[in-house]
Chains A and B, each alone.
Chain A
Amino acid sequence: MTTTKYDPRVLKAPHPVPGAPDNWKRFFTFNTDAKVIGLQYMGLSLFFLLVGGLLAMVMRGELITPPSDLVDPTVYNGLYTMHGTVMLFLFLFPVLNGFNNLLIPTMIGAPDMAFPKVNAAAFWLVPVFAVVLLASFFVPGGPASAGWWSYPPISIQNPLGHLINGEFLWILAVALSGISSIMGAINFVTTIIRMRAPGMGFFRMPVFVWTAWAAQTLQLVGLPALTGGAIMLLFDLSFGTSFFRPEGGGDPVLYQHFFWFYSHPAVYVMVLPVFGIFSELITVYSRKPLFGYKFVAIASFIITFLGLIVWVHHMFYSGTPQWMRNLFMVTTMLIAVPTGVKVFAWLGTLWGGKIRLTTPMLFVLGGLVNFILGGITGIMLGTAPIDIHVGNTYFVVAHFHYIIFNTIGFGIFAGIYHWFPKFTGRMYYEGLGKVHFTLTFIGATLNWLPLHWAGLYGMPRRVASYDPEFALWNVIASVGAFMLGVASIPFILNIVSSWARGAKASANPWNAIGLEWLLPSPPPAENFEDDVPTVISEPYGYGLGKPLVQDENYYIRRAQEA
């Protein structure tokens, strides 16, 4: 790679940066460059996507036939618990922090995060708790197997009576993950509030930054409740306290409040940045300004606020009194309003656009269609009488996979393809990308659409075996799941080979508007360094002919020459 021309500023940086020789070594060090940390998060989390996916495929193998015949039911329980935990804490949160690290500083023109060392420490906690979590596969008795909700008393039964057991390691890993997320959240929120480029008022921030801010605010408010609940659970499990044990006067339902007070907003922590990605990409690939930018931006914080007061809808059948059900049903239904504002704004943006169906746009549109479906089933689940019937069945499994994979996962893939040239300096292969999209869309639909009906007919979730009348839906679902496994092949192939030998990317291959596209690809260590542009317009000024920053041509030229 000696012929690669790189930005002369790259060489001045105190540590290796993109484009420099021995490029890869920096990913294995305590590097404080947000862009390196971003890629570290990305790489590690995509590895865990494969791990979590593999666990899921064993589960779908078990569920392809009604009886429990592939693995012991206790093993199945451990697998589904670890599948959920790995996907949430080792794939989704880290991959979104990857986006935050790559995009927040570059989009607001900051040289780096507010607290680079805290940022690096937050990242390096991820492999630490990953090891703790995966080690639980090898302790006597196996990993935690009470589901990712870890409801007591089932989670604190501890059959073998060992101090170090799967559940113990699980709680430890979740608590560490919480610490890592809080460190990240403080960093992101501070960076967004304090380090924006001159002229970038709040209503000139890209929507991704708005949504990341809204999401990280949720982390700051919600995580202490979960961490508190987890610590009490650990004490009940290991040290004989009775916070949640009925024998000692505790109440198991109390835990559910602690858990859902955070874990419902956690969904918004994950979906909000994806709304941000949708907003960024739909504008670029429709070549239009975002329809009602201010409404969309503010809707993020309305979702944050409402997201904090809906958690009891997970507990409609827990013995929750009627008045509480009614109250939380109303708040839950309200969330449809700001979410609807966003969806309609995206549709309005498509209207009369010049739509380009590149791989990222396909993933956005696919994700949007899935999100509308998942949102509608969400409304159904929000109404208590329906939830009393379909709660804790496969209808819920289908619903939240429509959100968490078919929307959030699609948004993540879209974002990876869209910003791949910016942060690696290479173009991806469009053909392989489209193969990846096609396989993913068909696989995901086969996997989760039929499971709605299984749930409506009364198939409970988390079962290792089921009555034969549910067989057909489960066979289709398993075929879809294996197809999703196959879909990862073109993705990996694309990413690896494009990064190694893809065509060199220009500074702005999509002809997009945004500060990150005024930087060279890949951006130098400190982004704009001390030559930060002054923002003079709202984002997404496609077709308006207004420059985004003062002396725009100077920055464009500078990025091209780099």
Chain B
Amino acid sequence: MTTSTPKGRGGLPVRLVAVILICTLIDALLSYQVSRWAYGWLPVPASTAAPYVDGLFSLEVGIGSFIFIGCVGFILWSVIVNRAEKYDESDGLPIEGNTRLEITWTVIPFVIVMALAFYSIDVNEKLAALGPKVKYDVEGGLGPETSLVVDPHKDYGPIQVIARQWSWEFIYPNGVRSSELHLPINQRANFELSSLDVIHGFFIPAFRLKQDIVPGSVISYSITPTREGRYRLRDSQFSGAYFSHNQTDVIVDSEDDFESWLSTSSAQPLVAGLSPGTELYAQRLAQGDRGWATVPPAPPPMVNDPGNPNAPHDA
């Protein structure tokens, strides 16, 4: 590169180095600000997983913003400064490459992504949300050999989570059944996830938790809720016609409220649980069964507490 400006020790013009440093600084400040905003782009954090996930997300947003602002700024700057005049048919500087620079921009991204990967592995290990997955004979049902190991001293549960087309059923250790998931706060809860038909997704955005429920297997999953409130539980793996209605709420209560809910509910008679698909399918049949083919909804599970689908949720 030929230039008449004064050169620094590395051979680069001093003014250029100064401009690059100032731009990097501005970019870093902006990116830091965006990484703070990133916390607001997520639902309220309501489990022990949330701070880890949010922190990692904020970090990645920060690094990502730094790269994005840097690259886009560079493109805009080039387009403005290096734009050819209308009838200028000449060529640009014939620079074919710079091995040192190329090695730098191979090594730096490598270090960044590996750091992120190993930090993520660390987060995964800390959360240890995913327990064992055990296959069982669908025809024969769950046998004694398929029961999953739960640490009885630490975890509440296991709560059986049963997914159907298109309803949720939760069975608590004392035999209470409900359509909404009730959990005690600050206690690690263990779930046994199973599906009676197709793959469903057990997704509670406020908990930063998602696990597919695979028919033919029972999957053990654990999470600790940390904030009282009512949160949305959404089916996240496409499950057919009324997939988008296959949602219910998770209610996180204080230990006492949870216990009193359990004991009141156990006295309640079994009624048909929440199953919006059943109602919509009945409407469809009444209107002449128009639309494309679907399997009929599974009968709603019989539960002690069908919940309140109209209650407003926090996230």
Residues of A within 8 A of B (CB): 68, 71-75, 77-78, 140-143, 145-147, 151, 153-154, 157, 159-160, 165-166, 246-247, 249-253, 286-295, 317-319, 321-322, 325-326, 329-330, 333-334, 336-337, 340-341, 343-345, 347-348, 350-357, 365, 368-369, 372-373, 376-377, 379-380, 383-386, 388-389, 391-393, 453, 456-458, 460, 462-467, 511, 538, 541-544
Contact = CB atoms under 8 A, between A and B. Distances in A.
Contacts of A511: 89
Given A74-B291, A458-B203, A462-B238, A333 B117 contact: yes
Contacts of A145: 292
B205 A457 contact: yes
A500 to B, nearest CB: 28
Contact of A460 (B91, B236, B290): B236
A348 B245 CA distance: 50
Contact of B41 (A354, A376, A392, A456): A456
B188 interface: no
B295 A348 contact: no
A126 B307 CA distance: 52
Given A288-B95, A343-B71, A383-B120, A392 B216 contact: no
B50 to A, nearest CB: 9
A411 B243 CA distance: 35
Contact of B75 (A247, A365, A386): A365
Given A317-B210, A462-B243, A350 B74 contact: yes
Interface in B203-233: 203, 205-206, 208-212, 214-217, 219, 232
B293 A140 contact: yes
Given A353-B82, A355-B82, A380 B60 contact: yes
A541 B129 CA distance: 56
A329 B82 contact: no
Interface string B42-83: 110000010011001100110010011001101100110011
Nearest to B137: A249
Contact of B79 (A166, A355, A385, A393): A355
B284 interface: yes
Contact of B93 (A151, A294, A543): A543
A356 B127 CA distance: 52
Contacts of A344: 102, 105
B258 to A, nearest CB: 24
Nearest to A292: B97
Given A292-B102, A330-B114, A151 B199 contact: yes
Given A389-B53, A543-B91, A153 B97 contact: no
Contact of B71 (A77, A78, A160, A372): A372
Interface string B281-296: 0001000001111110
Contact of A160 (B94, B98, B293): B293
A544 B75 CA distance: 24
B78 A154 contact: no
Interface string B98-129: 11011001100110011011001101110101
12 contacts: A75-B292, A140-B293, A154-B198, A246-B138, A293-B96, A340-B109, A353-B92, A354-B88, A365-B75, A388-B53, A388-B209, A457-B41
A389 B110 contact: no
B116 A351 contact: no
10 closest cross-chain pairs (CB), A and B: A246-B216, A458-B205, A142-B292, A72-B291, A543-B91, A141-B293, A463-B244, A543-B94, A376-B64, A353-B92
A259 B130 CA distance: 24
Nearest to B292: A142
Contacts of A541: 94
A127 B202 CA distance: 40
B157 interface: no
B92 A322 contact: no
B151 interface: no
A329 B201 contact: no
A460 B201 contact: yes
Contacts of A542: 91-92, 94
B242 interface: yes
Contact of B95 (A68, A330, A337, A351): A351
Interface-central residue, A250, A326, A343, by most chain B CB under 10 Å:
A326
Contacts of A330: 114, 117
A373 B138 CA distance: 44
A252 B244 contact: no
Interface in B114-164: 114, 116-117, 120-121, 123-125, 127, 129-130, 133, 135, 137-139
Interface in B174-220: 197-199, 201, 203, 205-206, 208-212, 214-217, 219
B236 A393 contact: yes
A143 B201 contact: no
B120 A319 contact: no
Contacts of B56: 383, 385-386
Given A252-B214, A466-B244, 12 more contacts: A73-B243, A143-B292, A246-B217, A293-B97, A319-B219, A350-B75, A354-B88, A365-B75, A376-B68, A388-B129, A391-B210, A467-B247
Contacts of B219: 319
A301 to B, nearest CB: 15
B199 A288 contact: no
B244 A464 contact: yes
A531 B72 CA distance: 45
Interface-central residue, A319, A337, A466, A543, by most chain B CB under 10 Å:
A319
Nearest to B124: A384
A386 B124 CA distance: 10
B64 A77 contact: no
Contact of B97 (A295, A369, A462, A466): A295
Nearest to A386: B57
A380 B117 contact: no
Contact of A73 (B83, B99, B241): B241
B78 A392 contact: no
Contacts of B21: none
